[in-house]
């Protein structure tokens, strides 16, 4: 991770196919295309890969989450349960629809704590949205049982976990809806892009229309298409889809390399008795894009993160103090800071996160370090990296 590290002739060929037609938009201009429909081709390939009946390509992972929620009828005042550890896009997509993000704790999976989810459910709750951060998944079986009991939708944010599986199913396909991101730093990239997957025909049709200004896409005259409901512009371009097609075709190669390097590093870290690893739910297989581990205390984690950087071990993240990925620095959400007036429902229903107790999340995230697995490394470089990590962590522990 990410796929841009290994751009090659496959990506160039797909992009050139588009440039030779001169048609960069995914809809219309049929006569100029010379048979090239890259967004449709990407959707078809992803349908097969994700073992899903329907796929709608969109302009980003954030767009995918927004479109997925809208396709299921989520709107003003509806509550969506999401984790305290994720990317800001999770709550941005919810707020974009006037819905209300309800943050709940994570556990040692670094994803949604099912017990915390159960406690957060109210009469306004409509969706549970686990986020499969850093390549591994939530306890989807437990979350599905909760959703079934309370008649809630399960929406998987699998933007960081393409290629992982749970109970033999691709991540994103276990719930009612699944979302992916193909931005520049994801396991496979299209530069900018995202996708919604579902087995529900109604949700798919809604996503198809909503992501293109409400166009119903009936017939071949775009100007004559009807608009059964309001929509917005979340379209992917043909150029972005072209890159995505090539990258999807290389996904298995990327995953194999990530798993190989992940296992080398994990084997080394396992020799440090004080280090423990994030929990992976039974039946889950990571996509191995990150290796996430816990130090015994917050102080040791902070010291270890600094020491790893000083030792030249790059691409390691201490999320507890991260501006983008952990609730502690989401001041714009806590303070309801917006360029325009927020919907009444959001103003009245959004919890006061400045007083919320997320100590259960802090317990895990404050001790966690996550290290990216890069595709551009060689196996020899990874062996050296693992040795440096072990040496550095042992030094931090001895000197603490």
3-state secondary structure the chain: CCHHHHCCHHHHHHHHHHHHHCCCCCCCCHHHCCCCCHHHHHHHHHHHHCCCCEEEEECCHHHHHHHHHHHCCCCCCCEEEEECECCCHHHHHHHCCCCEEEEECECCCCCECHHHHHHHCCCCEEEECCECHHHCCCCHHHHHHHHHHHCCEEEEECCCCCCCEECCEECCCCCCEEEEECECCCCCCCECCEEEEECCHHHHHHHHHHCECCCCCCCCCHHHCCCCCCCCECCCCHHHHHHHHHHHHCHHHHHHHHHHHHHHHHHHHCCCCCCEECCCCCCEECCCCEEEEECCCHHHHHHHHHHHHHCCCCCEECHHHCCCCEHHHCHHHHCCCCCCCCCHHHHHHCCCCCCCCCHHHHHHHCCEEEEECCCCCCHHHHHHHHHHHHHHHHHHHHCC
Known catalytic residues are: 186
Does residue 178 contact residue 156 with C-beta atoms inside 8 Å? yes
Question: Can you name the residues that pair with 196 across neighbouring β-strands?
Answer: 56, 179
């Amino acid at each position: 991770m990410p796929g841009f590290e290994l751009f090659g002739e496959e990506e160039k060929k797909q992009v050139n196919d588009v440039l030779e037609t001169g048609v960069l938009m995914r809809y219309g201009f049929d006569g100029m295309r010379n048979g090239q429909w890259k967004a449709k081709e990407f959707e078809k390939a992803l349908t097969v890969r994700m073992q899903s009946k329907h796929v709608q390509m969109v302009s980003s992972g954030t767009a995918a989450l927004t479109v997925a929620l809208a396709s299921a009828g989520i709107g003003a005042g509806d509550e969506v349960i999401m984790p305290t550890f994720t990317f800001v896009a999770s709550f941005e997509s919810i707020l974009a629809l006037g819905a209300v993000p309800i943050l709940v704790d994570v556990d040692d999976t670094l994803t949604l704590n099912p017990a915390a989810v159960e406690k957060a459910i109210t009469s306004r709750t409509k969706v549970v949205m686990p986020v499969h951060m850093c390549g591994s998944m939530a306890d989807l079986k437990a979350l599905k049982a909760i959703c079934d009991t309370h008649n809630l939708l399960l929406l998987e944010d699998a933007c960081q976990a393409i290629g992982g599986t749970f109970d033999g199913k691709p991540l994103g396909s276990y719930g009612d809806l699944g979302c992916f991101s193909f931005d520049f730093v994801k396991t496979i990239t299209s530069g900018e892009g995202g996708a919604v997957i579902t087995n529900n025909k109604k949700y798919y049709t809604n996503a198809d229309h909503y992501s293109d200004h409400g166009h119903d896409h009936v017939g071949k005259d775009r100007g004559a298409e009807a608009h059964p409901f309001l929509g917005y512009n979340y379209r992917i371009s043909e150029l972005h889809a072209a890159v995505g097609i090539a990258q999807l075709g290389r996904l298995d190669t990327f995953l194999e390399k990530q798993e190989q390097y992940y296992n080398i590093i994990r084997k080394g870290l396992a020799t440090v008795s004080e280090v423990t690893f994030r929990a992976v739910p039974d039946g889950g297989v990571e996509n191995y894009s990150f290796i996430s581990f816990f130090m015994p205390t917050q102080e040791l984690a902070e010291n270890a993160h600094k020491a790893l950087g000083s030792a030249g071990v790059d691409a390691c993240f201490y999320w507890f103090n991260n501006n983008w990925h952990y609730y502690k620095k989401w001041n714009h959400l806590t303070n309801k800071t917006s360029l325009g007036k927020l919907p009444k429902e959001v103003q009245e229903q959004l919890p006061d996160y400045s007083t919320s107790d997320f100590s259960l999340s802090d317990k895990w995230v404050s001790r966690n370090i996550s290290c990216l697995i890069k595709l551009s490394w060689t196996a020899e470089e990874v062996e050296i990296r693992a040795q440096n990590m072990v040496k550095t962590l042992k030094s931090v522990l001895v000197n603490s």
